[in-house]
Amino acid sequence: MLLRPFSPPDLASFLSLSITHDQLPFVGRPEEILAAANEFAHLHLIEVETVIVGGFILDTGYASQYDFAHAGDIGVRAVFIDQHHQGNALGRRAMMALADYVKPRYPWAQRLVLTVNCKNAGAIACYQRAGFTDTGELYHGGSAGPQHIMLRKVDNKVSPEGDAG
Domain assignment present for 160: no
* Cα–Cα distance for residue pair 110/155, rounded to 1 Å: 7
pTM, entire model: 0.91
**Count: domains in the chain:** 1
Contact 74, 113 (CB under 8 A): yes
Q: Which domain holds residue 89?
A: 2-110
* Cα–Cα distance for residue pair 57/69, rounded to 1 Å: 16
Domain assignment present for 117: no
Domain assignment present for 152: no
Local confidence pLDDT in tens for the 165 residues of the chain? 999 999 999 999 999 999 988 888 888 899 999 999 999 999 999 999 999 999 999 999 999 999 999 999 999 999 999 999 998 999 999 999 999 999 999 999 999 999 999 988 989 999 999 999 999 999 998 777 899 999 999 986 665 555 444
Q: What share of the chain is helix, strand, coil (3-state, %, to 5)?
A: 30, 30, 35
Domain assignment present for 45: yes
Domain assignment present for 53: yes
Domain assignment present for 13: yes
